[in-house]
Amino acid sequence: MDSSRPIGVFDSGIGGLTVVRALMERLPLERIVYFGDTARVPYGVKSVATIEHFTAQITEFLLQQDVKMLIVACNTMAAVAADVVRRLARDIPVLDVIEAGAHAAVAESKGRGIGVIGTPTTVNSNAYARRIHALDPGVRVYSQACPLFVPLVEEGWLDHPVTRLTAQEYLKPVLAEEVGCLVLGCTHYPLLKPLLRDVVGPGVRLVDSAITTAELAAAKLQELGIASTQAGPTAYRFVVTDVPLRFQTIGERFLGRSLGVVEKVEW
Protein backbone atom coordinates (compact mmCIF):
# COMPACT_ATOMS: atom_id res chain seq x y z
CA MET A 1 0.00 0.00 0.00
CA ASP A 2 1.15 3.54 -0.81
CA SER A 3 2.28 5.04 2.52
CA SER A 4 1.61 8.60 1.31
CA ARG A 5 -2.16 7.97 1.36
CA PRO A 6 -4.01 9.92 4.06
CA ILE A 7 -5.43 8.66 7.35
CA GLY A 8 -9.21 9.14 7.60
CA VAL A 9 -10.40 10.39 10.99
CA PHE A 10 -14.06 10.95 11.78
CA ASP A 11 -16.38 12.20 14.46
CA SER A 12 -19.95 13.36 15.00
CA GLY A 13 -18.77 16.99 14.84
CA ILE A 14 -15.73 18.98 15.82
CA GLY A 15 -14.78 17.02 18.97
CA GLY A 16 -12.65 14.56 17.02
CA LEU A 17 -10.23 17.40 16.35
CA THR A 18 -8.73 16.53 19.76
CA VAL A 19 -7.67 13.24 18.15
CA VAL A 20 -6.39 15.04 15.03
CA ARG A 21 -4.36 17.32 17.28
CA ALA A 22 -2.77 14.33 19.02
CA LEU A 23 -2.10 12.68 15.63
CA MET A 24 -0.47 15.84 14.24
CA GLU A 25 1.84 15.95 17.25
CA ARG A 26 2.68 12.23 17.28
CA LEU A 27 2.75 11.66 13.49
CA PRO A 28 3.77 14.96 11.85
CA LEU A 29 4.46 13.36 8.45
CA GLU A 30 0.98 11.89 7.99
CA ARG A 31 -1.69 13.37 5.75
CA ILE A 32 -5.13 13.47 7.38
CA VAL A 33 -8.68 13.78 6.04
CA TYR A 34 -11.03 14.70 8.87
CA PHE A 35 -14.78 14.27 8.59
CA GLY A 36 -17.11 15.95 11.10
CA ASP A 37 -20.85 15.43 10.87
CA THR A 38 -21.62 18.94 12.09
CA ALA A 39 -25.12 18.95 10.61
CA ARG A 40 -26.25 15.99 12.72
CA VAL A 41 -24.22 16.37 15.94
CA PRO A 42 -24.76 15.41 18.79
CA TYR A 43 -24.71 11.63 18.41
CA GLY A 44 -24.38 10.97 22.15
CA VAL A 45 -28.13 11.08 22.74
CA LYS A 46 -29.21 9.26 19.54
CA SER A 47 -30.29 5.65 19.05
CA VAL A 48 -27.94 2.86 18.01
CA ALA A 49 -29.75 2.33 14.66
CA THR A 50 -29.38 6.01 13.71
CA ILE A 51 -25.72 6.12 14.71
CA GLU A 52 -25.00 2.94 12.72
CA HIS A 53 -26.66 4.45 9.64
CA PHE A 54 -24.72 7.75 9.87
CA THR A 55 -21.46 5.90 10.60
CA ALA A 56 -21.83 3.75 7.48
CA GLN A 57 -22.34 6.87 5.31
CA ILE A 58 -19.22 8.55 6.70
CA THR A 59 -17.12 5.39 6.35
CA GLU A 60 -18.13 5.04 2.70
CA PHE A 61 -17.20 8.67 2.06
CA LEU A 62 -13.75 8.30 3.61
CA LEU A 63 -13.04 5.04 1.80
CA GLN A 64 -13.68 6.95 -1.45
CA GLN A 65 -10.92 9.38 -0.38
CA ASP A 66 -8.46 6.48 -0.66
CA VAL A 67 -7.44 6.44 3.00
CA LYS A 68 -4.86 3.93 4.24
CA MET A 69 -6.30 3.74 7.77
CA LEU A 70 -9.56 4.75 9.44
CA ILE A 71 -9.74 6.16 12.95
CA VAL A 72 -13.09 6.36 14.73
CA ALA A 73 -12.43 9.44 16.85
CA CYS A 74 -15.97 9.63 18.25
CA ASN A 75 -16.44 7.55 21.39
CA THR A 76 -20.17 7.25 20.75
CA MET A 77 -19.64 5.83 17.24
CA ALA A 78 -16.85 3.58 18.52
CA ALA A 79 -19.17 2.34 21.28
CA VAL A 80 -22.06 1.26 19.09
CA ALA A 81 -20.93 1.20 15.45
CA ALA A 82 -17.26 0.13 15.30
CA ASP A 83 -18.32 -3.19 13.74
CA VAL A 84 -20.08 -1.34 10.91
CA VAL A 85 -16.85 0.50 10.12
CA ARG A 86 -14.73 -2.69 10.24
CA ARG A 87 -17.14 -4.55 7.96
CA LEU A 88 -17.13 -1.79 5.32
CA ALA A 89 -13.39 -1.12 5.58
CA ARG A 90 -12.47 -4.74 4.72
CA ASP A 91 -8.65 -4.79 4.55
CA ILE A 92 -8.15 -1.12 5.54
CA PRO A 93 -7.05 -1.07 9.20
CA VAL A 94 -9.52 0.51 11.62
CA LEU A 95 -8.64 1.95 15.04
CA ASP A 96 -11.02 3.42 17.54
CA VAL A 97 -10.77 5.54 20.64
CA ILE A 98 -12.39 2.94 22.90
CA GLU A 99 -9.90 0.25 21.98
CA ALA A 100 -7.05 2.69 22.68
CA GLY A 101 -8.62 4.03 25.88
CA ALA A 102 -9.29 0.55 27.27
CA HIS A 103 -5.66 -0.53 26.81
CA ALA A 104 -4.35 2.61 28.48
CA ALA A 105 -6.84 2.32 31.35
CA VAL A 106 -5.82 -1.24 32.16
CA ALA A 107 -2.16 -0.19 32.14
CA GLU A 108 -2.91 2.76 34.46
CA SER A 109 -5.31 1.09 36.89
CA LYS A 110 -2.57 -0.68 38.89
CA GLY A 111 -4.93 -3.03 40.67
CA ARG A 112 -7.50 -0.33 41.49
CA GLY A 113 -10.87 0.30 39.84
CA ILE A 114 -11.33 2.22 36.58
CA GLY A 115 -13.72 5.13 36.17
CA VAL A 116 -15.16 5.89 32.72
CA ILE A 117 -17.03 9.04 31.75
CA GLY A 118 -18.78 9.60 28.40
CA THR A 119 -22.03 10.49 26.65
CA PRO A 120 -25.24 8.66 27.67
CA THR A 121 -25.08 6.43 24.55
CA THR A 122 -21.45 5.46 25.22
CA VAL A 123 -22.10 4.69 28.88
CA ASN A 124 -25.34 2.80 28.21
CA SER A 125 -23.59 0.65 25.59
CA ASN A 126 -21.15 -0.62 28.23
CA ALA A 127 -18.53 -0.72 25.44
CA TYR A 128 -15.64 0.51 27.61
CA ALA A 129 -16.38 -2.02 30.35
CA ARG A 130 -16.56 -4.84 27.76
CA ARG A 131 -13.25 -3.88 26.16
CA ILE A 132 -11.58 -3.41 29.54
CA HIS A 133 -12.85 -6.77 30.80
CA ALA A 134 -11.60 -8.48 27.64
CA LEU A 135 -8.12 -7.31 28.68
CA ASP A 136 -8.48 -7.77 32.45
CA PRO A 137 -11.61 -9.67 33.58
CA GLY A 138 -10.98 -8.94 37.27
CA VAL A 139 -10.85 -5.15 37.18
CA ARG A 140 -13.82 -3.13 38.49
CA VAL A 141 -15.28 -0.48 36.13
CA TYR A 142 -17.49 2.41 37.24
CA SER A 143 -19.15 4.45 34.48
CA GLN A 144 -20.86 7.78 34.59
CA ALA A 145 -22.65 9.67 31.79
CA CYS A 146 -21.81 13.39 31.76
CA PRO A 147 -24.19 14.85 29.13
CA LEU A 148 -23.66 18.47 30.17
CA PHE A 149 -19.92 18.42 29.46
CA VAL A 150 -20.27 18.58 25.65
CA PRO A 151 -22.29 21.84 25.60
CA LEU A 152 -20.12 23.33 28.37
CA VAL A 153 -16.95 22.66 26.36
CA GLU A 154 -18.50 24.01 23.17
CA GLU A 155 -19.46 27.12 25.11
CA GLY A 156 -15.78 27.51 26.00
CA TRP A 157 -16.44 27.15 29.74
CA LEU A 158 -13.31 25.13 30.29
CA ASP A 159 -12.46 26.74 33.61
CA HIS A 160 -15.79 28.03 34.84
CA PRO A 161 -17.51 27.61 38.24
CA VAL A 162 -20.55 26.03 36.56
CA THR A 163 -18.36 23.40 34.88
CA ARG A 164 -16.47 22.74 38.13
CA LEU A 165 -19.68 22.24 40.08
CA THR A 166 -21.08 20.00 37.33
CA ALA A 167 -17.90 17.89 37.35
CA GLN A 168 -17.96 17.56 41.15
CA GLU A 169 -21.55 16.40 41.00
CA TYR A 170 -21.04 13.91 38.15
CA LEU A 171 -17.83 12.46 39.58
CA LYS A 172 -18.97 12.04 43.18
CA PRO A 173 -20.16 8.41 42.80
CA VAL A 174 -17.12 7.36 40.72
CA LEU A 175 -14.64 8.95 43.12
CA ALA A 176 -16.38 7.29 46.07
CA GLU A 177 -15.18 3.97 44.59
CA GLU A 178 -11.54 5.08 44.92
CA VAL A 179 -10.67 4.43 41.29
CA GLY A 180 -7.03 4.51 40.16
CA CYS A 181 -7.74 6.22 36.83
CA LEU A 182 -10.52 7.99 34.98
CA VAL A 183 -11.00 7.44 31.24
CA LEU A 184 -12.05 10.59 29.37
CA GLY A 185 -14.43 8.65 27.12
CA CYS A 186 -15.64 11.50 24.92
CA THR A 187 -13.89 13.66 22.34
CA HIS A 188 -14.66 16.86 24.23
CA TYR A 189 -13.32 15.90 27.63
CA PRO A 190 -9.56 16.32 26.97
CA LEU A 191 -10.26 20.07 26.93
CA LEU A 192 -11.45 19.78 30.53
CA LYS A 193 -8.25 18.07 31.70
CA PRO A 194 -6.92 20.90 33.92
CA LEU A 195 -10.30 21.29 35.66
CA LEU A 196 -10.86 17.54 36.00
CA ARG A 197 -7.36 17.09 37.42
CA ASP A 198 -8.32 19.49 40.23
CA VAL A 199 -11.60 17.72 40.85
CA VAL A 200 -10.24 14.14 40.94
CA GLY A 201 -7.07 15.03 42.86
CA PRO A 202 -3.52 13.70 42.47
CA GLY A 203 -4.37 10.06 43.27
CA VAL A 204 -6.40 9.48 40.09
CA ARG A 205 -4.69 9.38 36.66
CA LEU A 206 -6.63 10.80 33.70
CA VAL A 207 -6.60 8.63 30.57
CA ASP A 208 -6.85 10.82 27.46
CA SER A 209 -8.09 8.56 24.68
CA ALA A 210 -6.99 11.10 22.02
CA ILE A 211 -3.34 10.69 23.01
CA THR A 212 -3.56 6.91 23.40
CA THR A 213 -5.22 6.65 19.96
CA ALA A 214 -2.33 8.55 18.37
CA GLU A 215 0.12 6.17 20.08
CA LEU A 216 -1.81 3.16 18.83
CA ALA A 217 -1.95 4.61 15.29
CA ALA A 218 1.82 5.16 15.27
CA ALA A 219 2.44 1.56 16.37
CA LYS A 220 -0.02 0.14 13.81
CA LEU A 221 1.42 2.15 10.88
CA GLN A 222 4.91 0.90 11.77
CA GLU A 223 3.72 -2.68 12.16
CA LEU A 224 2.04 -2.60 8.74
CA GLY A 225 4.95 -0.77 7.10
CA ILE A 226 2.71 2.07 5.90
CA ALA A 227 4.00 4.99 8.00
CA SER A 228 4.60 8.07 5.84
CA THR A 229 8.22 8.98 5.22
CA GLN A 230 7.42 12.08 3.20
CA ALA A 231 8.94 15.22 4.67
CA GLY A 232 7.67 18.66 3.67
CA PRO A 233 4.36 20.43 4.21
CA THR A 234 1.67 18.01 5.34
CA ALA A 235 -1.78 18.15 3.80
CA TYR A 236 -4.77 18.31 6.11
CA ARG A 237 -8.35 18.34 4.85
CA PHE A 238 -11.34 19.15 7.02
CA VAL A 239 -14.70 18.07 5.61
CA VAL A 240 -17.98 18.78 7.40
CA THR A 241 -21.68 18.34 6.68
CA ASP A 242 -22.53 21.90 7.69
CA VAL A 243 -20.43 24.98 8.37
CA PRO A 244 -21.96 26.72 11.36
CA LEU A 245 -20.72 30.21 12.09
CA ARG A 246 -18.91 29.15 15.26
CA PHE A 247 -17.20 26.16 13.65
CA GLN A 248 -13.91 27.86 12.82
CA THR A 249 -13.40 29.40 16.28
CA ILE A 250 -14.46 26.35 18.24
CA GLY A 251 -12.54 24.06 15.91
CA GLU A 252 -9.35 26.01 16.46
CA ARG A 253 -9.76 25.64 20.22
CA PHE A 254 -9.99 21.85 19.81
CA LEU A 255 -7.14 21.67 17.32
CA GLY A 256 -4.82 24.12 19.07
CA ARG A 257 -3.96 25.75 15.72
CA SER A 258 -5.73 27.39 12.80
CA LEU A 259 -7.96 25.11 10.75
CA GLY A 260 -7.38 26.51 7.28
CA VAL A 261 -10.02 25.74 4.68
CA VAL A 262 -13.08 23.80 5.79
CA GLU A 263 -14.97 22.02 3.00
CA LYS A 264 -18.67 21.24 3.05
CA VAL A 265 -19.30 17.71 1.81
CA GLU A 266 -21.05 16.99 -1.45
CA TRP A 267 -22.55 13.56 -0.74
Q: Among all residues, which ones are annotated catalytic?
A: 74, 186
Nearer to ligand DGL, 166 or 228 (CB): 166
Should residue 142 be labelled a site residue for ligand DGL when binding is judged by CB under 6 A?
no
> Do 228 and 31 form a contact (C-beta atoms < 8 A)?
yes
> Do 130 and 214 form a contact (C-beta atoms < 8 A)?
no
Phi first, then psi, for residue 22 (nearest 5°) are -65, -40
Should residue 12 be labelled a site residue for ligand DGL when binding is judged by CB under 6 A?
yes
User: Residues touching ligand DGL: how many (CB under 6 A)?
Assistant: 18
Should residue 59 be labelled a site residue for ligand DGL when binding is judged by CB under 6 A?
no
Min CB(76)–ligand DGL separation in Å: 4
Write each residue from 70 to 109 as x if it is in contact with ligand DGL (CB under 6 A), else as -, in one continuous string.
Answer: ----xxx---------------------------------
Residue nearest to ligand DGL (CB): 44
Min CB(252)–ligand DGL separation in Å: 17
Asked whether the CA dihedral 50, 89, 118, 112 is positive or negative, the reply is positive
Asked whether the CA dihedral 14, 247, 263, 236 is positive or negative, the reply is negative
- Rounded to whole angstroms, the Cα distance separating 267 from 61 reads 8
Min CB(183)–ligand DGL separation in Å: 12
Integer CA distances (angstroms), 11 to 53, 70, 106, 148, 187, in order: 14, 11, 25, 18, 8
- Positions that interact with ligand DGL (CB under 6 A): 11-13, 15, 41-44, 74-76, 118-119, 122, 150, 186-188
